[in-house]
Amino acid sequence: MKAAGRQKLDQRAFLKQVHECRDKGYLLSFKKIGSGAFSKVYLAYATQERMQHNSKLASDLRGKRHSMVAIKIVSTAEAPVEFSRKFLPREISSLNATYKHLNVVQLYETFENSRRTYLVLELAARGDLLEHINAVSAHRCCPGLEEEEARRLLWQLVSAVAHCHNSGIVHRDLKCENILLDDRGCLKLSDFGFAHQSRFKNTLLSTFCGSMAYTAPEILMSKKYNGEQADLWSLGVILYAMVTGKLPFKERQPHRMLYLMRCGPAFRPGLSPECQDLIRGLLQLRPRARLGLQQVATHHWMLPAAHALFCITPSTIPEKPEKPQLRTSPDNVETNTNSDPPRSLLQLWRPQLQGTSHESVSGLAPEPLGVCLRQGADSARFELWSMEMAGHEVGRSRHTPLLSFIRSMPGHYLVS
């Protein structure tokens, strides 16, 4: 078909999609923000009318102070039957199961017709982690992110993955390209097309999936594998990529990859020994020898990460901050418009935290009622449902590292 003819067809198809979205209460823009094998992702706007009918969408967008969403349009008519019958339903049901976590991309709703399925997703406007690592590396003229930033992102990623695992979902395709960032620099785990859902923690899987550079050795060896342990390997690869700007093992042939994996990762000079230790702890050939998520979160490299509970990047902190104020009057407290707030890492780990005496965890939460952090005139507001959720009694007067950290942040104030 001639190019002009194809262009006309594409335009007609796009206009159809615009109408189909409009009928459901969304205004589709021309801005394409991504594409997959059988899908295209567009920026779109939710109408007031739609928000009145979807309380989760309305409360999320109210918090974000905009009406933008990402609409992923999957051409089910063009995709193989297996994709439409297996992978797409899997992606949708995993997103439904992992709903309501700050670091997992939110699926607000879906609609479909005989040709297409539409997924209305939370917008992650700052692209993916790979693009971010490349942009920062170019800016710094040095490959990789600062350890401080990598730590903040890893903390959020660990929180998201822990939430998935606790919801019975293993992701199986954790990689930098599937980790998105929103306009506040908050990490959003996405692309659950290979996810597997099971009620049983120790289910062994056999399907080869994921991308070779991030795939655990047991999968490369075609062994039956535990999905959670395979995800932990991928976390090690992602951390390595963040702090070095490179992949730890890169080969096309699985047997060569396995050889490199057996030799272990090589580190650049200057990388802290703690970070190297954490990466080695994740990149263990024996799946059972790998650090668990809780061990990752309490690893000494992660210790200065208290602030990472909040998705704030240095760039979101105003240069000329408003005078910090300590607010105590409940009348001045902005109420949480979201009736069901995102779950924090500590809330997520509530069962594990009960009775723990580990300093890195018990030292995090300063106030029994949690901390509400607001950022000057900006809309950002983050909530830590911490010790109370974890069942700990912490005196109000105790100044823990987190509290001091928050107080030291310009333009922020606390309400408890």
Rg, C-alpha atoms of the chain: 22
Site for ligand ATP in 273-302 (CB under 6 A): none
**Helix, strand, or coil here: 347?**
helix
- Can you name the residues that pair with 16 across neighbouring β-strands? none
Among 70, 186, 261, 346, binds ligand ATP (CB under 6 A): 70
Buried b / exposed e over 151-179, threshold 16 CB at 10 Å, is: bbbbbbbbbbbbbbbbbbbbbbbbbbbbb
Among 9, 37, 221, 333, binds ligand ATP (CB under 6 A): 37
Give me the catalytic one of 23, 60, 128, 173: 173
Given the rule CB under 6 A, which of 123-131, 207-215, 355-363, 379-387 is the region that contacts ligand ATP? 123-131
CB 188 within 8 A of CB 178: no
Contact between 190 and ligand ATP by CB under 6 A: the answer reads yes
Among 20, 191, 228, 383, binds ligand ATP (CB under 6 A): 191
| Of residues 242 and 384, the one with the C-beta less far from ligand ATP | 242
| Of residues 81 and 263, the one with the C-beta less far from ligand ATP | 81
Instruction: Please indicate whether residue 231 is annotated as part of the active site.
Output: no
Give the Cα separation of 356 and 218 in Å (integer). 32
Q: How far is CA 200 from CA 227, 376, 391, in A?
A: 11, 45, 27
Among 193, 217, 287, 411, binds ligand ATP (CB under 6 A): 193
Query: Shortest CA distance to 285 belongs to which of 252, 263, 314, 309?
Result: 263
Given the rule CB under 6 A, which of 160-168, 189-197, 217-225, 388-396 is the region that contacts ligand ATP? 189-197
Residues contacting residue 103 through CB under 8 Å, at least 6 positions apart: 156, 157, 159, 160, 163, 186, 187, 188, 189, 311
Given the rule CB under 6 A, which of 17-25, 31-39, 240-248, 342-350 is the region that contacts ligand ATP? 31-39
CB 251 within 8 A of CB 271: no
Contact between 228 and ligand ATP by CB under 6 A: the answer reads no
Contact between 41 and ligand ATP by CB under 6 A: the answer reads yes
x/- map, 94-113, ligand ATP, by CB under 6 A: -----------x--------
| Of residues 70 and 186, the one with the C-beta less far from ligand ATP | 70
CB 75, min distance to ligand ATP, A: 10
CB 271, min distance to ligand ATP, A: 28
Return the residue matching tokens 């567009």. 42
Give the Cα separation of 353 and 166 in Å (integer). 14
Give the Cα separation of 189 and 351 in Å (integer). 23
Contact residues for ligand ATP (CB under 6 A)? 33-37, 39, 41, 70, 72, 105, 121-124, 128, 177, 180, 190-191, 193
Which positions are catalytic? 173
